[in-house]
Structure formats: structure tokens, C-alpha cells
Chain A
């Protein structure tokens, strides 16, 4: 067979089911590893401040935001979709949290409700999930292309955030001791054993995500429906349910990121998170996932998020203008996609050759 290459070297699979140590898989993710090591080495050389624990923790808490968004985005991309609404959802989540923290006036009862922080957090996450579900229903039920559906929702959600705040920013998110709603800054400022809470949340979500993808039927269904939806459906996979769920989860991830961001800033603005969806997509792509679905994993996506975060923070530290930062980030994304294309082209050939045989035979 001409596809002998694929039989001798176990082809790297992005679907991480086996715990085996496969050469191809290491190579796939090696790319992002090497990029990260290179970035750290170069910036450590250029700046004495870069290679310090303090700086790494600061950078990690910046990465956490994009990392959390990217976990949700990965689920959507594994399904072969895209979610452009996460930046807006992030913004609205912060705004809703700010709105609730200011107190909700109920004119019928003449009282002002000050919900405790945990209720605020749950409500914000629920809202994020609901926005995601709207995406999911549009896409799975009404067959609206994911790009268009989430683009529309992106605008609507951003508009709602602007309407709620009238374009202004909620600044006092600290709460008041006499109302018992203090503690909103916990997410943004507290640390567990020196590690920012945001980073802890990202690690926990990454662990849960990884568990879902590799150890549950849902994870397998997600890889299958992203890899070949028709085959998955004929195998009895509830493809619509899977599709709706990934968008809902992506919305929840965006809401969590929104809470963390507004807590870090102790303010919630309606334009927070603009273009964050693109950074999240970039992280997933740099992490080796295929935009066509079915390939990718949490580890790669996390690496992708760190590559982007460490690169842009490094450029800030060595004092490069923000215009150049944009150019560099873009170049890294293009390079990553280019490498993905080369890698997947080599792989796609093997099944194509194998596929050509029966096709040609049956046509005879």
C-alpha cells in the first residue's frame, strides 16, 4: 500500500482516548511546546524581569481568561463549529454581575435585593449557558450555519450589555458589609498558595474538560460527530444534543471568564471582552485542533493559550509597541495554521488513497 507510512508510524490522533505514548501525538503537540519554550527563552534573555515567579503568575492570570474561553471554544471546534459570541457573553456576564451587585429594585414590593455573591455568580453562569443554548438551538435545530448564528448572537448580546448599562461602566463591585454581599473581588485578587484564583479555575476546568473528552461517552460522541456527523448519527449518537450542549458549555465558560475579568478590574464595562473570541479561536488552533472538527485536545489548547499570553506579555515587558504586538500575534497564528495544514494534509492522504480504491472499484 502507498499509505504504508500510516501503518508504520502510528498516526497521531488528536482524540485522546488511549493513555499511550505515541510518537505522532508528541510531535503534534511538540510544536506548541517548542514555541512556548522558545518564547520563554527569548524573553528571559531580553528582559531580566521576565523569568521571575511573580511575572509568571501575573502572566498566568492573564492567560486564564483566554484559557477558559478557549476550553469552551475547543468543545465547539471539535464539533466542527465556531462560537463568535463568547466575547460578548463575557461582557454581558460581567455587566449582569455588576447590575446585580448594585442591588435589584423591586418596585412592587418596595425593596432593593442585594443577592449574595454566589447567587450572582450562578445567575451569570446560567445566563451564559442560556446564550450558548440559543446558539445551539439555532445551529442544531434550525440548521443556521454556526458562523452566522453566533455572529448574530454576538451583536445582540453586546447590544443588550450596552442597553443595560446605557454605555456606562459599573465601578463599585466591592459590596457592602452591612448588606452581606462582599467578596466579589475574591475571584480576581485572591490566591490559593500564591496562585491566582483565575488560574486555579482554569486548571480545574481544563481537568474537567479533559475528563469529559477522554473518559465519558459524551466526549466520544463529540469527537465522532465532529469527525463525521453522518457516521455518528447512523451509529446512534445523539448529534443534535451534543451540538446544543457544546454551545451551552462554551457560553458557561465565557460567563466564568467574564466574572473573573470584572472581578480583576473591580468594574464591569459593556465593551469588555471585545475580540476575545478571536484570541480563543487562535489558542485552540495553535493547540493543533482542526477547524473542520474531530481533532484537538485540552492539553494543546492550554498550550496555545499560554503561547499567545506569554508572547503578548513578553512583548509588553520588553517595551515593543502595541502595534507590533498585534503583528506578532497574527504571525504566530498564521504560522500555527500553516503547520496544521501541512500536518493534516500528510495525514489526509492516507485515508484518501485507501478511500480511492473502493470508490474507483465500485464505479467500475
Chain B
């Protein structure tokens, strides 16, 4: 603080203020009264774990989502945005975490989508192409404006997304995880562009899970946890350790690794597994990865978005084809089996996106629970209703689902209970190995702890458990072993005594450097 050159300009004008912003989805409070300000020509970075409310806050600032309560002030006068285009007209634009490009259209058409430049005879394509070229040159990316977006690799698509936001000439630019698919060189170019924008007086709001990377460019840091702001500071006052401490908190206990028993034989053995990207052939999203899990062992896989966790788990479960290597379940090679055959052999996957891949919304809680093991209820040809009901009731009890009963609609359950339905469904198949991709996604802490307790109990009975997470605190709960993945490879392996900082460093370093 005493060094004037390191201290950010305290007088930089505040352009945007969010006062006491709250947002509730049903009974879940995504944001609980957050105050936030954005300064002209400065980078303000939002830190926080998944579910902390970062993206929700940014969606509110950019007019995509309306807050439940609270006010936004632009240049000191209160504003409300009915839509994203109203916010854009007011000078606020956002680069979304999920790409929002039309893959069938060209780079040029995507950049000017919704704001086509009118000429005397319809759209002035030549002018659009010229401006698109200028933007690409600025981003040092050699992409022809006429290239269809679907033929670009993911990183280049992200560049197009960034170019689109730049083309608006906005005063406030929100970047939600802009670097998750970029190569190190592309990140450098982006940071240079951010520098240019700053000098032009553009206020930038930056969100990233790559903490060290974000520290390179930020001027102010704001930390969110569970929908509330926990800390804010100038860049000069903080370091990595400060961010992690404020992000993670010390207060939640998600269990300890179950002890007092011996692990069994190796239940799941993965050797040199390689998976290539479905959209962009040749890029290995999982790169010659090897892993052994014993019966009764709980392994946690930590990694950032795009580290290859989902691809690895889905490949083991048979959803995604492998490009190389082998997968053995209790010694038997299972790579040629279908998903159904793998389930029958004792390998179950709880998918990452439970709405899309886990639940059938048109069916009841009971029907969802019995879906994976329905063949077992068939008495000769017909289902035995009483057997099924008994199994459903037993399952509801054993995984502690809070529901009116098996006949209730699946949509009537909370996120945590829905997740328990998906887990319960796979447990009824009596698996030897269960893979869970981000089992704690979007569920509250109480439900998280219950899910982990459930898994620990099953491990004690000899089930091999592999779960992935992007929250460090969850690594240090029930897992006997923590594996950190980065860029499709295992970058580090820890016991249950690892520290949060160690784990985070192992996941990020491989990306930044």
C-alpha cells in the first residue's frame, strides 16, 4: 500500500454499482445481498468456487437474469435491464462461460449477430468482413471471417466469442471464464487485449478458476462464497493463499475417509486410456492415463473445467469410445461391452448433468429409481409390482430421499434429493465400482455431506468409489486418495492429508505455465 506504483488508482471512477443484490431460485438463494462495484479502466476479478454465485451475479449485471431484490446503478443513476440487449445498449457486454455461437454460421455472421450492419441493399457484408478481420488481427488469431464456427477448435471459438464482445465497444466487459479453452499463447494475447481495453478506459469484470492467471491481471479482487461476499481487497494486498482461504472457508465438514478395514483386490484398472475430443479429432482430452482403484477405496479426482475428468469417467462407463488403452473390471477387459453390459458386470456411472443424463423427468421417483434394475423385477414376462414397490421403498430409505413416496413426480424433489435418486438408481444394480462425476454439483452442503456419508458406508462394504469434483474442500472429505488431473493427465497424487493449496497448485500450474 505504501508503494504508490503498486497501489491501484483509488480515484478510478466507479461506473457500475450493485447494491444488496439477491437472487433466489425457489427456496435456493443463489445470491444473498451482494455489494459490488466496477471501476473505469480496471480489472475487477470475482473469485469463488462452483455454486458461489459468480455467474449469477454476472448474469444479473448483464441483464440476462433479473435480481429478486437489490439495485444496480450505472454512473450513479439506477438502471434496470429487461434484457441482455438493453444492457448491451447501455454499454455492458458479457462473454459467457458457455459459448453462445451459432456453429453453422460463419465467424463474421456470428460476430455481428443481432447487430448486422445495414447497407443500401441489405446487410453490408463487406464492411462486416472488414471489421471482423480487424478484430481477428487485434486478437492475433489467423481466422478467416468466412470460416464456419463449427470447424474451429474450441479455443478459437472462444476467441470469436471474445471478438464479438469487443466489437460492441462496450464500457463494461464481463468475462466469465474466458480462458478455459485457450492455449497459453492465446491467454497471453487475451491479456494484452485486456491491457489495451484498460488503457481505453473500459472496465473489466473477470471470472476465472485459474487463480494465478487471474492474479496476473487483476486490480481488485472480490471473493464470493455461498452467495455472499466474503472479502474484497486491492491486488497489492493479496496473494494466492488469501484467495484460497476466503474462497473455501474453514467451516464445513464433509466427513473423513472411512477406516478400520483392508482394501480388497484391484476392482478397476485403467491402463494408458486415451480419449479424443468428439468434435475435434486428434486432440486427446484424456492422454494415456492409468489408474487403479481397489475394492473399498475412495478416490477423488480433482481438476479444472476441461481437465478431462468427465471424458475419462464416461469412457470407462462406455458412453464415449476410447482411442487407446484398456479398462479392466476385476481383471476382465470391458472395453468392448455396451453400457448395459458394464452395468450388469458391476460398473455404474452417476453422470455429471443429472437433468440431462441422470433423470427421466416424465417418470416418477419410483420409476426413476428402478429404471436401471428393472429387468430384475420381471417375473417371467410381467413386472412384479409388489417387488418393485418394496425395492423402491427400501431404496428411498437407504439413500435417505426426502419425498412423498415413489409415486411423486421427480420434479417435485430438491436438487440434492434428485441427485440421491440418481445415486440410488445405480446402487440398486449392485455395482462393484461406482463412478460419480461431480456428485455434489448444485446441491446444498447438508445434502453433500449425506451423499458423502452414503458413499463412505458403501465403501466400507467393499464398493470401489471414484468421484470427481472441482471443489477442493470435497477432496479433503472422504477420499483415501486424491488424484489431480490437468490437460488429460494425472498431474499429482496425494493422500488424504494433502493441503488445499497443494491440490490447487497441482491443478492450475500445469495450465498456466
Contacts and interface: CB of A to CB of B under 8 A. Distances in A.
Interface of A: 1-3, 6-7, 10-11, 13-15, 17-18, 20, 22, 211, 215-217, 220-221, 223-224, 226-228, 230-238, 290, 294-295, 347, 350-351, 353-364
B410 interface: yes
Interface stretch (B112-120, B355-363, B477-485): B355-363
Contacts of A217: 374-375, 377-378, 383
B425 A364 contact: no
Given A217-B375, A227-B363, A13 B54 contact: no
Interface in B334-392: 338-340, 343-344, 349, 351, 354-364, 366-367, 370-372, 374-375, 377-378, 381-383, 385
Contacts of A221: 374
B372 A235 contact: yes
B382 A364 contact: no
Interface in B26-85: 26-28, 30, 48, 50-57, 59, 65
A17 B363 CA distance: 9
B253 interface: no
Contact of B363 (A10, A216, A223, A353): A223
- Across the A-B interface, give the 7 residue pairs with the lowest CB-CB distance, nearest first: A358-B442, A351-B411, A227-B362, A363-B55, A294-B362, A236-B340, A227-B360
28 contacts: A1-B27, A2-B26, A6-B412, A10-B408, A13-B364, A13-B409, A17-B367, A18-B364, A217-B378, A217-B383, A220-B374, A221-B374, A223-B360, A224-B360, A227-B361, A228-B359, A228-B360, A235-B371, A237-B371, A295-B362, A350-B412, A351-B355, A354-B413, A354-B418, A358-B355, A360-B30, A364-B48, A364-B54
A14 B362 contact: yes
B25 interface: yes
Nearest to B372: A235
B25 A364 contact: no
A236 B51 contact: no
Contacts, number: 183
A217 B55 CA distance: 42
B363 to A, nearest CB: 6
Given A216-B381, A231-B360, A235-B372, 13 more contacts: A1-B26, A15-B363, A15-B367, A224-B363, A228-B356, A228-B359, A234-B319, A235-B426, A236-B339, A353-B25, A354-B412, A359-B442, A360-B59
Given A215-B383, A217-B374, A230 B25 contact: no
Nearest to A214: B383
B404 interface: yes
Contacts of A351: 355, 361, 410-411
Interface residues of B, number: 71
Contacts of A360: 25, 30, 55-56, 59, 65
Contact of A220 (B55, B358, B383): B383
A359 B64 CA distance: 14
Most A CB within 10 A of own CB, among B338, B362, B367, B374: B362
B246 interface: no
Interface string B162-194: 000000000000000000000000000000000
A309 to B, nearest CB: 28
Given A238-B340, A362-B441, A364-B48, A215 B382 contact: yes
Contacts of B30: 357, 360-361, 364
B156 interface: no
Contacts of A7: 404, 408, 412
A10 B407 contact: yes
B429 interface: yes
A238 B381 CA distance: 17
A351 B415 CA distance: 10
Interface in B250-302: none
A234 B339 contact: yes
Most B CB within 10 A of own CB, among A3, A230, A363: A363
Contacts of B425: 235
Contact of A358 (B97, B338, B441): B441
A236 B429 CA distance: 10
A216 B383 contact: yes
Nearest to B419: A358
A288 B413 CA distance: 25
Secondary structure type dominating chain B contacts: mixed
Contact of A355 (B50, B355, B370): B355
Nearest to B54: A364
B121 to A, nearest CB: 36
A216 B52 CA distance: 44
Contacts of A236: 339-340, 343-344, 372, 429
B319 to A, nearest CB: 7
B496 interface: no
A223 B362 contact: yes
Nearest to B49: A364
Contacts of B105: none
B323 interface: no
Contact of B409 (A231, A233, A350, A363): A350
Nearest to A241: B340
A11 B404 CA distance: 12
B415 A354 contact: yes
A238 B340 CA distance: 7
A215 B25 CA distance: 38
A142 B407 CA distance: 37
A353 B360 contact: no
Contacts of A227: 360-363
B218 interface: no
A357 B25 contact: yes
Contacts of B53: 361, 364
B412 A11 contact: yes
Contacts of B366: 17
Contacts of B59: 360
B375 A364 contact: no
Given A11-B411, A362-B442, A17 B362 contact: no
Nearest to A8: B412
Contacts of A350: 409, 411-412
Contacts of A232: 360, 371
A10 B438 CA distance: 30
Contacts of B55: 360, 363-364
B20 interface: no
A224 B340 CA distance: 14
A211 B429 contact: no
B443 A364 contact: no
Contacts of B343: 235-236
B339 to A, nearest CB: 6
Contacts of B340: 236-238
A214 to B, nearest CB: 8
Contacts of A18: 364, 407
Contacts of A294: 360, 362-363
A230 B317 CA distance: 13
A220 B442 contact: no
A278 to B, nearest CB: 25
A63 B228 CA distance: 63
Contacts of B224: 364
B48 A13 contact: no
Most A CB within 10 A of own CB, among B54, B363, B407, B414: B363
Nearest to B46: A364
A230 B356 contact: yes
Contact of B442 (A6, A235, A357): A357
